A and B are shown apart, each in its own frame.
Chain A
Amino acid sequence: MNVFVTCKFCPDLDRMKQSDFVVQEEMGVDTHFLPNILNCYDESSLELSLRFGETVKNLEKTAFTIGPKTSEQVLDSLLALGFEHAVRVATEYDVRFRPETIAATICNYLHDHPQDLLVLGREAPLGNNAATAQLVASYLNLPLISAVVDFSYRDESSISVTFQHEGSLYRQEVSLPCVFSMENATISKLRMPTLRQRMKAKNCTIEYAQLEQKDSSLFPLPIAMRIPNRRRLSSISQKKGKDAVYELFEKDLKKRLEEV
């Protein structure tokens, strides 16, 4: 059995202050000064795949990323953790709002390396397209399970998958091959390789794949970017006690509570 996991190494936007978000002319935000982290959904996917591999004999694991050279640090770690293949698509092409290109690139690789299970994160933090897993499932005509939070081995041709829907958790038995779109899983942290594992993997090499550009006919590119105004009203009442409360309700809370 084999499993294919996509991952994105991306700027840690939580480290940016609101004032750092400045839209530049090229419809982007300067994030080059930020440290990079794994996309949270991908982190779950990778860790769950490793745990999956601990229960499945001879599971062949492939990690796949489209990104800059700094992504290779993650791929080196994944090789040290036991991923059999770590693949990078080296490109400077802006794929932020191009889910079709991302999906086509993945499918292009899979054409020569078919997989039983494809695990993709729900969305990546820059583009937030939330479309890649769905497009991959469509292009390859594979079943899609969405909002996945966990999965486990059932037998050679099927997997037990847990997903959430509107806050409830469901379990389904799904035939392979299949595409999973990973949600916020309880398992959210990828393990770290030990120094010994890193030494052992020193001779493992990263593989490279090609970008497959696809027109964004279905997914138009942005025409504008804006910064939301998130400042709170901070309206201080001039009144005290009972009068202040009355004013609060008349001006604001009564209307909100009607909507509740």
Chain B
Amino acid sequence: MNISREEIVEVMKDLVGAENVVTEQEVLEDATFDRFRKFEGYHHVYTNPLPAAVVFVQSAEQVSRVLSFCNAKKINVVPRTGHSATEGGLEPIVENSIILDGSHMNKIIDIDPVNMQATAECGVVLEDLENAVRKIGLTTGHSPQSKPIAMMGGLIATRSIGQFSTMYGGMEDMLAGVETVFPDGTICDIKSVPRRSAGPDIRHIVLGNEGTTNFITKATVKLWKYYPQYQECLGYTLDKMEDGLKIMRTVMVEGYRPSVARLYDAEDGKEHFSHFAPGKCVLIFVTEGPELVSHANAEGIRSIIANYPECEMVETKLIEHWFANLNWDASRIEEERQEVLQTDVVCCTTEISAPWSAVEKIYQVCVDRVTREIPDLTIFGAHASHCYSNGINLYFVYWYKVTDCTPEQEITKYHLPIKKIICEETIAAGGSMCHHHGVGKHRVHWIDKEHGSALYMIKKLKEAFDPNGIMNIGTILPYHETK
């Protein structure tokens, strides 16, 4: 890259307008980290180099011009919308990067109740889209905990998944069409059709790319009819995680499709259910949809649980209320910041997926190893929240007190060693080291083991679409600095 930081800024101003190029110190510092390095960020320690600028784009054409320029000049571009990523995907790890921010592209373009889909720009907050479609009795079916702050672009780029996935699927099931821009400036519009067999499904080049091959500008997602009045909440306490996993498998294999299927172990459950289930695992199902469907699913699940006398029913209102307060918003993040700064206790997560035959072992091994090998833990637990006929995910949640180390040492002392145990044990047992948060920059160490021989395909995609390696360097594939 033979261009100075100042020159980059000047060109960006020409391309998008001066008012959309931000070089304020505080904004640049804030742009060097996402939730992975929150401990450092809360302490105003910025390990990554400051980007040259945060560039706000207003259209696909502007994105195209910016990417073309950066491609020619080999400037690293970090695509961003909601800034809620958790795995370091938003970190600019090389000097003089550009943070390309699509959050100002925030129009809901169309809601089509006949074809049951909605089109929104990349900067639309998911909760805003959901509220808009609910006004006409519809739902996107997508409800990750970050719903109040996450935006469409990032949700697609990370292959996100939400709380109702067991019924509505993940983002890969919801995305009907998408417009995206490639590093050479090409704008591609994948039309939304119910299904087609016209070559490989190219939506999957966009889905999960984590900003490493393209910048998403617009998306069309499917909609469903919203039947809140027929939702049924089922909650149970039980002693053993393995019993809960057996029940979940039976529910899925028998063919029932709740929208929500969640199982918390006692440790993770402490944060949520101590007012009614201290020291117990908690199993939650929600069914919804048309009345007969919702009720049939609920009855089917009840009949399965009836075979497990150790399960004790929980009052519905307790589950409903808990569920209504599950999502994260800006006030929860601020509360977290206060807590971290005062107590030096950090909460982090690693989510994996595993076939049914392996999940119990992965859970046990990870609990045993992490609690034995990692110092200063205050909580280590897990919950399962996304079920499939062929397996389930596990969401490990862990809190540790940062002791005798600087903010910048925190991830090497705690976070990465924990992640290493979880990722390696999961891959060894035949699972996947990342279920829905993306690889980011901090699971790249195991990407070769994750994909095995198929890593060839990931690398080829990167070579094909980003030959100059300017898109979100160090994400998905490790960065090797060339001399």
A interface vs B, CB < 8 Å? Answer: 11, 15, 32-36, 47, 70, 73, 187-195
Residues of B within 8 A of A190 (CB): 343
B377 on interface, CB distance cutoff 8 Å:
yes
Q: Is the CB of B342 within 8 A of A187?
A: yes
Q: Is the CB of B272 within 8 A of A192?
A: no
Residues of A within 8 A of B108 (CB): none
Q: Is the CB of B378 within 8 A of A35?
A: no
B401 on interface, CB distance cutoff 8 Å:
yes
Q: Which residue of B318, B339, B343 contacts A33 across the interface (Cβ within 8 Å)?
A: B318
Residues of B within 8 A of A195 (CB): 371, 377-380
Q: Is the CB of B278 within 8 A of A73?
A: yes
For the A-B complex with A15-B325, A194-B378 known, give 8 more contacts whose Cβ atoms are closer than 8 Å.
A33-B315, A33-B317, A35-B273, A35-B274, A191-B345, A192-B343, A192-B378, A195-B379
Task: A33 to B309: give the CA distance in the assembly, Å.
Answer: 24
Q: Is the CB of A15 within 8 A of B321?
A: yes
Q: Is the CB of A189 within 8 A of B378?
A: no
Task: A194 to B403: give the CA distance in the assembly, Å.
Answer: 11
Task: A4 to B129: give the CA distance in the assembly, Å.
Answer: 52
B328 on interface, CB distance cutoff 8 Å:
no
B46 on interface, CB distance cutoff 8 Å:
no
Residues of B within 8 A of A33 (CB): 275, 315, 317-318, 320-321
B456 on interface, CB distance cutoff 8 Å:
no
Say what secondary structure dominates the interface of chain A.
loop
Task: A195 to B373: give the CA distance in the assembly, Å.
Answer: 12
Rounded to whole Å, the gap between the CB of B379 and the closest CB of chain A is 7
Q: Which residue of B322, B338, B378 contacts A193 across the interface (Cβ within 8 Å)?
A: B378
Question: Which B-chain residue is minimally distant from A20 (CB atoms)?
Answer: B321
Q: Is the CB of A35 within 8 A of B342?
A: no
B376 on interface, CB distance cutoff 8 Å:
yes
B69 on interface, CB distance cutoff 8 Å:
no
Residues of A within 8 A of B377 (CB): 194-195
Given known A-B contacts A15-B325, A195-B378, A189 and B275 have beta carbons under 8 A apart: no
Q: Which residue of A11, A32, A70, A191 contacts B343 across the interface (Cβ within 8 Å)?
A: A191
Q: Which residue of B320, B321, B339, B401 contacts A189 across the interface (Cβ within 8 Å)?
A: B339
A-B contact pairs, 30 of them (CB 8 A): A11-B275, A15-B321, A15-B325, A32-B275, A32-B318, A33-B315, A33-B320, A34-B321, A35-B275, A70-B275, A70-B278, A73-B274, A73-B278, A188-B338, A188-B342, A189-B338, A189-B339, A191-B343, A191-B345, A192-B378, A192-B379, A193-B378, A194-B376, A194-B400, A194-B401, A195-B371, A195-B377, A195-B378, A195-B379, A195-B380
B224 on interface, CB distance cutoff 8 Å:
no
| Interface residue ranges of B427-476 to A (CB < 8 Å) | none
Residues of A within 8 A of B315 (CB): 33
Task: A172 to B365: give the CA distance in the assembly, Å.
Answer: 55
Task: A195 to B270: give the CA distance in the assembly, Å.
Answer: 13
B399 on interface, CB distance cutoff 8 Å:
yes
Rounded to whole Å, the gap between the CB of B365 and the closest CB of chain A is 17
Task: A195 to B378: give the CA distance in the assembly, Å.
Answer: 5
Rounded to whole Å, the gap between the CB of B253 and the closest CB of chain A is 33
Residues of A within 8 A of B273 (CB): 35
B interface vs A, CB < 8 Å? Answer: 270, 272-275, 278, 315, 317-318, 320-322, 325, 338-339, 342-343, 345, 371, 376-380, 399-401
Rounded to whole Å, the gap between the CB of B36 and the closest CB of chain A is 21
A-B pairs with beta carbons under 8 A, tally = 55
Name the residue in B272, B275, B343, B401 with the highest tally of chain A Cβ atoms < 10 Å from its Cβ.
Answer: B275
Q: Is the CB of A189 within 8 A of B342?
A: yes
Task: A151 to B202: give the CA distance in the assembly, Å.
Answer: 64
Q: Which residue of B274, B318, B321 contacts A36 across the interface (Cβ within 8 Å)?
A: B274
Question: Which A-chain residue is minimally distant from B345 (CB atoms)?
Answer: A192
Residues of B within 8 A of A194 (CB): 376-378, 400-401
Residues of A within 8 A of B318 (CB): 32-33
Residues of A within 8 A of B325 (CB): 15
Q: Is the CB of A189 within 8 A of B343?
A: yes
Residues of A within 8 A of B317 (CB): 33
Question: Which B-chain residue is minimally distant from A72 (CB atoms)?
Answer: B278
Q: Is the CB of A192 within 8 A of B401?
A: yes
Rounded to whole Å, the gap between the CB of A114 and the closest CB of chain B is 32
Residues of B within 8 A of A192 (CB): 343, 345, 378-379, 399, 401
Rounded to whole Å, the gap between the CB of B391 and the closest CB of chain A is 29
Rounded to whole Å, the gap between the CB of B148 and the closest CB of chain A is 15
Task: A250 to B278: give the CA distance in the assembly, Å.
Answer: 59
Name the residue in A11, A33, A187 with the highest tally of chain B Cβ atoms < 10 Å from its Cβ.
Answer: A33
Task: A188 to B334: give the CA distance in the assembly, Å.
Answer: 14
Name the residue in B315, B320, B325, B345 with the highest tally of chain A Cβ atoms < 10 Å from its Cβ.
Answer: B325
Q: Is the CB of B272 within 8 A of A191?
A: no
Task: A79 to B29: give the CA distance in the assembly, Å.
Answer: 40
Given known A-B contacts A188-B338, A195-B378, A35 and B345 have beta carbons under 8 A apart: no
Q: Is the CB of B275 within 8 A of A36?
A: yes
Question: Which B-chain residue is minimally distant from A69 (CB atoms)?
Answer: B278
Task: A194 to B322: give the CA distance in the assembly, Å.
Answer: 26
Residues of B within 8 A of A32 (CB): 275, 318
Task: A190 to B401: give the CA distance in the assembly, Å.
Answer: 12
Residues of A within 8 A of B342 (CB): 47, 187-189
Task: A35 to B270: give the CA distance in the assembly, Å.
Answer: 10
Task: A70 to B275: give the CA distance in the assembly, Å.
Answer: 6
Counting from the closest, the 7 A-B pairs by CB-CB distance are A189-B342, A192-B378, A33-B321, A33-B317, A33-B318, A191-B343, A35-B275
Residues of B within 8 A of A193 (CB): 378
Name the residue in B315, B338, B343 with the highest tally of chain A Cβ atoms < 10 Å from its Cβ.
Answer: B343
Q: Is the CB of A191 within 8 A of B275?
A: no
Question: Which A-chain residue is minimally distant from B339 (CB atoms)?
Answer: A189
Task: A190 to B343: give the CA distance in the assembly, Å.
Answer: 7
Task: A193 to B275: give the CA distance in the assembly, Å.
Answer: 19
Q: Is the CB of A70 within 8 A of B274?
A: yes
Question: Which B-chain residue is minimally distant from A44 (CB atoms)?
Answer: B342
Rounded to whole Å, the gap between the CB of A69 and the closest CB of chain B is 9
Rounded to whole Å, the gap between the CB of B38 and the closest CB of chain A is 16
Rounded to whole Å, the gap between the CB of A48 and the closest CB of chain B is 11
Task: A76 to B63: give the CA distance in the assembly, Å.
Answer: 55
Task: A43 to B322: give the CA distance in the assembly, Å.
Answer: 23
